[in-house]
Amino acid sequence: MITTHLLEGKTVIVTGSSTGIGAAIAIACANHGARAVVLHHLGESTLADVSEVAERVRAAGAHSVLVEGDIASPSTAESLVKAAPYGRIDVLVSNAGICPFHAFLDLPHDLWRRVQDVNLNGAFYAVQAVANAMAAQDPPGGSIVAISSISALMGGAEQCHYTPTKAGVKSLMESCAIALGHLGIRCNSVLPGTIETNINRDDLADPQKRRDMTRRIPIGRLGEPDDIAQPVVFFASDMAKYCTGASLLVDGGAAISLQ
């Protein structure tokens, strides 16, 4: 566990924070000194998990606030802004996302729409609501980190609904970086490789697929949520004060490997 004072005194909002990468990010922000972490989760089905994350955030010395709601609804983003304690939002990590693996030819249209609504529209609603709050606070400014994916750069046969959203999230950060730079709001994205979480546990249960995925990763293993959380803290912190519009691939070397 890495602890520093990188986020000392800051208030951080993390969407999709009940499990996986979002949970690891929330806990890491607390371990790096955050004063408060606003933990977004979907609702009843995620309450037990996010409550455990809240306990670990508090154990690390940060105040925790739970906010439930479907990130695909703009009202959830407004609730996140209202829930931020101490009257200031320093960091937003836009993480919430789904990837229900499905073949393309019979991909249901409502499933396509749901993945767009959660992964891309949800990111837009959260980023816009928090950016407005960051612009209005005194002094204005903050850091927005979106969780894109290696899938922004390469496709997946059963991810035709998902990969466009991850490319869109990366692009959203690049345009927001231009639109918001004069307000002191930095916008960057982290692109995880194959990180084992609930999102892909079934997919990776196939031993052959697991072997094939791992074989092409120079570091020699699939990623873990904390492998993503630490680079996110970098972008969230003042160590990245001259970084905006950047995207950081965190994939164990998979994207450059043909082996």
- In whole angstroms, give the CA distance from residue 242 to residue 195: 28
Two tokens at 82? 């209202």
Rule CB under 6 A: say whether 148 interacts with ligand RM4: no
Residue 227 backbone dihedrals phi, psi, to 5 degrees: -60, -25
Two tokens at 250? 């965190």
Q: Is 149 or 244 the residue whose CB approaches ligand RM4 more closely?
A: 149
- Which of 99, 115, 131, 147 contacts ligand RM4 by CB under 6 A? 99
Using the rule CB under 6 A, give the single segment among 10-18, 24-32, 123-131, 192-200 that binds ligand RM4: 192-200
Rule CB under 6 A: say whether 244 interacts with ligand RM4: no
Give, in degrees to the nearest 5, the angle at Cα 38 between 34 and 44: 145
Which is catalytic among the residues 64, 125, 143, 166? Answer: 166
For residue 223, what are the CA distances in angstroms to 9, 57, 156, 208, 210?
29, 22, 18, 17, 12
162 catalytically annotated: yes
Return the half-sphere exposure (C-beta side, CA atoms, 13 A cut-off) of residue 222. 17
- Which of 151, 165, 237, 244 contacts ligand RM4 by CB under 6 A? 151
Rule CB under 6 A: say whether 150 interacts with ligand RM4: yes
User: Where along the sequence are the contacts to ligand RM4 (CB under 6 A)?
Assistant: 99, 149-151, 156, 159, 194, 199-200, 203
Active site amino acids: 149, 162, 166
